[in-house]
Amino acid sequence: MTSVAAGLGLALAGCGRDETGRIDLHNPPSGPIVLGFSQVGAESGWRLANTASIKKAAERNRVDLLFKDADGDQKRQLADIRSFIDARVTAIAFSPVVEKGYDDVLRQARDAKIPVILTDRLIETADPSLYISSIGAEFTSEGNLAAIYLENDYNGVDQTVNVVQILGTSGATPTKLRSEGFAATASRTGKLKIVASETGNWTVDGGEAAMRKLIRRVPRIDAVFAQNDDMGLGAVKALEAVGRKPGTDVRLVTVDATKKGLQSLAAGKLNYVVECSPLIGEQLMGVVVAIFLGARVEKRISSEKNVFDSDSAKDVLGDRPY
């Protein structure tokens, strides 16, 4: 029998769904544990590590995994979720491509008495009962931390610091909340001024293209906030191509803490990296198994978080699994 992953603080009770679609604490599901999982895509090193973590944890916890890759296409993701409903899986989990547009399919899941778990990203809905739990990072806090650490580098400098942003996919939760967190912290002292933004769609190539546009548009760029490591690495390429030294002439802060990101940080091309761990597979399987066993689960489960500079990056690079 599969065991529940430790550390979730799960209180034992029955857990099915009653005729209203809400959790029924007296009728737990039975049979094999089958998870239908729809991944947003494979757009970055972070995402590949996230997928690997989920697949490995499913195998270790003896959960039958039906895995689908939406390739960044919400219509495809909605079709994948409907296929899981048709397959009568134990639970459905997905990382949303964008925030809006999931209510109808999640009502179908609720009608089928299949609990839904959000991973990494959130959805915008007036009915939070459509999903039982969400697992992932606190994106607003990541933006806060990026601004705090960048601002600290300019203590004692009188002039305003011109910051450009390289954003993730439009309409995605981390794009929105990291922007809000960074802007909120930057506005407290006014030291950091966000002068322009471009979308990089989470990729190295996208980050490089976005940075090129920003270099052409903005006469003076002091710092860059790239919303993930891959886009930050693309920004490094663009800056080097015009003879500007990343990490020195232009300071860069990114989010994720992938191995490639930390290597660039240790080499001095990035200045800070805020961690957003992709390794949530065990947490996800803990929730899925808890549902199967009839346990009450937390509505929100946070992943690991840290902030690295060049010295601390060197300390963790040796055993970085992604």
What ranges do the domains of the chain cover? 11-136+278-303, 139-276
Residue 202 confidence (pLDDT) = 95
Distance CA 14, CA 17 (A): 10
Among 3.40.190.10, 3.30.70.100, 3.40.50.2300, 3.60.15.10, name the CATH number for the domain at 11-136+278-303.
3.40.50.2300
Backbone dihedral angles phi then psi of residue 162, each to the nearest 5 degrees: -80, 115
Distance CA 188, CA 65 (A): 46
Residue 69 confidence (pLDDT) = 98
CA 147 to chain centre: 18
Query: Sign of torsion, CA 125 127 128 129?
Result: negative
Query: Sign of torsion, CA 126 13 87 171?
Result: positive
Q: Name the residue among 94, 164, 165, 98 with its Cα closest to residue 130.
A: 94
Q: Angle at Cα 51 formed by Cα 60 and Cα 37, nearest 5°? A: 80
Q: What is the pLDDT along the chain (322 residues), one digit of tens a residue?
A: 333 333 333 332 223 444 333 445 455 555 689 999 999 999 888 899 999 999 999 999 999 999 999 999 999 999 999 999 999 999 999 999 999 999 999 999 999 999 999 999 999 999 999 999 999 999 999 999 999 999 999 988 889 999 999 999 999 999 999 999 999 999 998 999 999 999 999 999 999 999 999 999 999 999 999 999 999 999 999 999 999 999 999 999 999 999 999 999 999 999 999 999 999 999 999 999 998 888 889 999 998 789 999 999 999 998 888 8
Q: Angle at Cα 119 formed by Cα 234 and Cα 137, nearest 5°? A: 60
Q: What is the CATH number of domain 139-276?
A: 3.40.50.2300
Alpha-carbon separation of residue 265 from 56, 216, 232 (angstroms): 28, 25, 10
Query: Sign of torsion, CA 149 49 210 143?
Result: negative
Amino acid at 54: I
Answer whether 11-136+278-303 and 139-276 agree in fold.
yes
Q: What is the DSSP letter of 139?
A: H
| Sheet of strand 91-94, all strands in order from the earlier edge strand to the far edge | 64-69, 34-39, 91-94, 116-119, 133-136, 300-302
User: Pairing between strand 91-94 and 34-39?
Assistant: parallel
